[in-house]
Amino acid sequence: MSPPSLESVHRFLSFSSRRAIIAFATTIVGLLVLCLFAVRQNILTYNNTLETLYFVLIVTVGWGIGSWLLLAYVRKTISSLQRKVGPFIYISHHSITVIQFALFGVMLFVIFDRRSEYPMPIVNAITSIISTVVLIVFAYQFSRWYKHNKRNFVILFYCLTTVTLAIMIVTDYARVQLVTIKVDKSAPGETSREVVMYKGIEGGQLIKQDIEPDFTESYIVSNQYQYANYVFTQWPGLLSFIFRWVATSLTLHHYNSSLNRIVLWTLISVPLIFYIVGKMPDILDFTGTSINPELRTRILFRLGTVGVSILFGLAFLIMAQRVRPIRDHLTVAAIGVMIISIAFSVSNLQQTFGVAAHSLVLLSSYMFAIGLYSSAISISHDATLRRDIKRSIKNASSDLLDGTGRAQMTQEIESRVIKMAEQSSNALFG
């Protein structure tokens, strides 16, 4: 029997099956949730062995195999768009691919030499900056779509969601820069562990400690940066959550065809209630009512965050089932929106698997942007698809897909008219 060709191996590894891609993305989400509960408020604890295991899993599954499969799926999905939008979309894809695998190589180096963790903050910086740029550019595109259809509030809330996600990422990176590291000698007999503190000390707030037998690294926000730390930590995330929840609710309302309205809104409301109840200690702490969050409120807060992220992704998957000609595009967007908020929530103060998990915001931001943008491009170039959406979706005039597709079509027509006018002007007066 002859060995398989490189082409057949690539087809196998690229997982053209949409269900297989969704299943693998679910595995990545599960790993991210595990990392989230391990590094936030000591909901789960871990030792050096578990830290290494989490780091290896998130790098190999999320950055290695996961990036290969997901980026191959994206490439397959956008392969038909080059003649519609030109080479820019492929240049962007190849750029993200090169960056993703270059950073994957850096983290493999850290895995094999655990004493060399110094590149990890660089990984965090690169992914934070580039994902912020990707989201800002996409938010600008959303604003242009909304400009052509100002009665479509779904587009507005998706635009606000994208803007606040970008603000979350850049302000979180800025917050990390406010944190100073103080190294002290550990008490005799200490075991290696990491502890999340969030407690006031003389001169500032102690966020976490990395305790080793010979030394202890304390991450401290000094008093002069306390207000900035509060603003960076609380407000962007709160606003983003609200906008995401509204955008998700409106989308599920438009595309729901099987659930009773009461059941649907109960399902949508549960993560919001969890989030508000879990967030309340932080809100009251700002008002001066110092309340230490208990374990159950921490868990509710994180469950609310994870719940809305999953619902956001499910909204796109439901759209994909209803609008099958672009279901691959919407599946790419669904995977991106499910991963981005959960990955962001993993603390990047944890210097191994925390940074690795958090830095998946780059891949997920790109997938969210390219999935939804390619959907709009496809709709704008397919009159039959636009008619099908208008017939099958209630309130199509306020729907995300119908609104972005028609706005993109209007935008392209305007661009062609302007170009023709410039050519005519040059011919007459040039």
The reported pLDDT for the residue numbered 188 is: 79
- Report the Cα 351 to chain-centroid distance in Å: 20
For the residues 383-398, what does the mean pLDDT come to?
A: 70
Three-state DSSP state, 381: coil
Q: Which long-range contacts (CB under 8 A, 24 or more apart) does 194-201 make?
A: 194/39, 194/46, 194/51, 194/350, 195/42, 196/39, 196/40, 196/41, 196/42, 196/347, 198/41
The reply to whether 218 falls in a domain is no
The reply to whether 284 falls in a domain is yes
The reply to whether 286 falls in a domain is yes
Per-residue tokens: 81 = 């768009």
Cα–Cα distance between 430 and 422 in angstroms, integer?
Answer: 10
The reply to whether 208 falls in a domain is no
Residue 9 has pLDDT above 50, yes or no: no
pLDDT-wise least confident of 7-16, 104-113, 139-148, 373-382: 7-16
| The total number of structural domains that make up the chain | 1
Cα–Cα distance between 135 and 163 in angstroms, integer?
Answer: 7
The reported pLDDT for the residue numbered 395 is: 59
Cα–Cα distance between 288 and 200 in angstroms, integer?
Answer: 14
Question: What does each C-alpha distance from 294 to 271, 277, 279, 282, 302 come to in angstroms?
Answer: 18, 11, 11, 11, 13
In single-letter form, the type of residue at position 283 comes to: I
Tokens 């002007």 belong to: 425
Residue 291 has pLDDT above 80, yes or no: no
For the residues 110-134, what does the mean pLDDT come to?
A: 90
Cα–Cα distance between 12 and 101 in angstroms, integer?
Answer: 20
- Cβ of 245: how many Cβ atoms within 10 Å? 22
Three-state DSSP state, 194: strand
The reply to whether 350 falls in a domain is yes
Are 132 and 156 spatial neighbours (Cβ–Cβ below 8 Å)? Answer: no
Cα–Cα distance between 213 and 192 in angstroms, integer?
Answer: 6
Helix (H) or strand (E) holding 221: strand 216-222
Hey, which residues does 201 pair with through a beta bridge?
Answer: 204
The reply to whether 88 falls in a domain is yes
For the residues 107-128, what does the mean pLDDT come to?
A: 88
What is the pTM for the complete model shown?
0.88
Residue 178 has pLDDT above 70, yes or no: yes
Residue 83 has pLDDT above 80, yes or no: no
- Looking at per-residue pLDDT, the higher value among 318 and 280 belongs to 318
**Domain residue limits at 381:** 6-177+226-429
The reply to whether 22 falls in a domain is yes
